[in-house]
Amino acid sequence: MVDPSLADGFKCSKVPNRVVHKWLPPPVDFYKFNVDGAVRRDGMAGGIGVECTVPRDDGTLTTYVGFRVQHDNARGPMKGGIRYHPGVEPDEVNALAQLMTWKTAVANIPYGGAKGGIGCDPGELSLSELERLTRVFTQKIHDLIGIHRDVPAPDMGTGPQTMAWILDEYSKFHGYSPAVVTGKPTDLGGSLGRDAATGRGVFFATEALLNEHGKAITGQKLVIQGFGNVGSWVARLIHEKGGKIVVDIKAKFIIKATNHPTDPEADKKGVVIIPDIYSNSGGVTVSYFEWVQVNNELKTYMTKTFKDVKEMCRIHNCDLRMGAFTLGVNRVARATVTRGWEV
């Protein structure tokens, strides 16, 4: 459980985030705008920390701290998951909100970046306790989120049922609003295949990379580190395509499937690496399809985005990581200038 004092006066730091800025193309000043972001015109800049006191099943009261950080809305409503995990804290949420801005820009879908979460261990809470916690958190942030402002989605420790509770609680204040969240159950307008979307996107990114090098997944030996939702879907899809999942292999290609898994210093020379802001963008892309009720376009988006990233690499003579961030930052910068906002 996060220290409740963290919610007191919490404000998203305007100091450049050290984690995210390691990845940004130098020099950042070239882009002539604030990469740390500011929600302009229609919302507050920064974020909010709230205390959520809920009754446990045994009658005791427990207080948890939740956060929602809104980074940038130059390209559209802000978008980002809500995670339930004991390690949720302001700096992490802030960094992930920034990454969502660049990820949605790289994928070229009309969203900005946001992120949220509650410091809790969902495995130690009953279903009814999770529902009460989710509803209290929604009551605290309902004025910050909205169909055209900030659209939450599932993340670590949350899922379709969590989104259903948020939708229901939000609707008590604003009327029935199914598009206020994505990743919700299909019975409430959710998108088929959303649970597999991030893993499927990683699979398509892998396929695009191998095709670029004259290879195919069929017959290839691949190692998967981690076997949660994303890793398990990647393994299943690779197996269906004829790839071989093995262990202990010296990799020529690395596809980063989770948010910020390593620092730039960990990149190995001579190894082609696909950055996470591209490879794991399948989830938010299908969330966009759900938001506008379109589907079956993920492979088209992932393939087109890979070509866009490669073009940035050609123009700037850089690797895929730098090409992806250059693409994302440039798109946000152009939207910021085009909308007439101060830069």
Q: Catalytic site residue 115? A: yes
Q: How far apart are the first and last CA of the chain?
A: 39
Region 219-245: mean pLDDT is: 93
Lowest model confidence (mean pLDDT) among 31-40, 240-249, 318-327: 31-40
Nearest Cα residue to 238 out of 227, 226, 222: 222
156 vs 150: CA distance, rounded Å: 19
Please report, for the chain, the start and end positions of each structural domain, with discontinuous segments joined by +.
4-188, 194-338
Beta-bridge partner residues of 343? none
- Asked: is 194-338 a CATH 3.40.50.720 domain? The reply is yes
- 81-94 pLDDT tens trace: 999 999 999 888 98
Among 191-200, 218-227, 300-309, 320-329, which is the least confidently predicted range?
191-200
* pLDDT for the residue numbered 7: 57
pLDDT of residue 45: 46
Alpha helices by DSSP H, 182-341: 194-212, 229-240, 276-279, 282-292, 298-316, 320-338
255 beta partners: 274
Tell me, what's the pLDDT at 39? 45
The Cα 3–Cα 218 span in angstroms is 49
Give mean pLDDT, residues 131-145: 97
**Burial class of residue 87 (count of CB atoms within 10 Å of its CB; 0-12, 13-18, 19+):** exposed
| pLDDT on residue 47 | 85
Query: With 70 as the cut, is the pLDDT of residue 325 above it?
Result: yes
Please count the residues of the chain.
Answer: 343
Choosing from 115, 140, 172, 256, which is the catalytic residue? 115
Decide whether 4-188 matches 194-338 in CATH topology: yes
| pLDDT of 271 | 87
**Of 41, 269, 108, 297, nearest to 193 (Cα)?**
297
Any idea which residue has 């900005």 for tokens? Answer: 112
Question: Would you state the pLDDT for residue 135?
Answer: 97
pLDDT at 44 over 50: no
pLDDT of residue 333: 87
The beta-strand segments (E) located in 217-332 are 221-222, 244-245, 253-255, 272-274
Kindly indicate the confidence band of residue 25, based on its pLDDT and cuts at 50, 70 and 90: low
Residue showing tokens 């996107």? 201
Q: Specify the amino acid at residue 60.
A: T
What homologous superfamily does CATH list for 4-188? Leucine Dehydrogenase, chain A, domain 1 (3.40.50.10860)
pLDDT at 249 over 80: no
Question: Are 122 and 114 contacting, i.e. CB atoms less than 8 angstroms apart?
Answer: no
Q: To which H or E segment does residue 113 belong?
A: strand 112-118
The predicted pLDDT at position 105 comes to 94
DSSP secondary structure letters along 209-224: HHHHTT--STT-EE--
| Centroid of chain to Cα 332 | 16
% of the chain with per-residue pLDDT over 90: 59
With a cut of 80, say whether residue 21 has pLDDT above it.
no
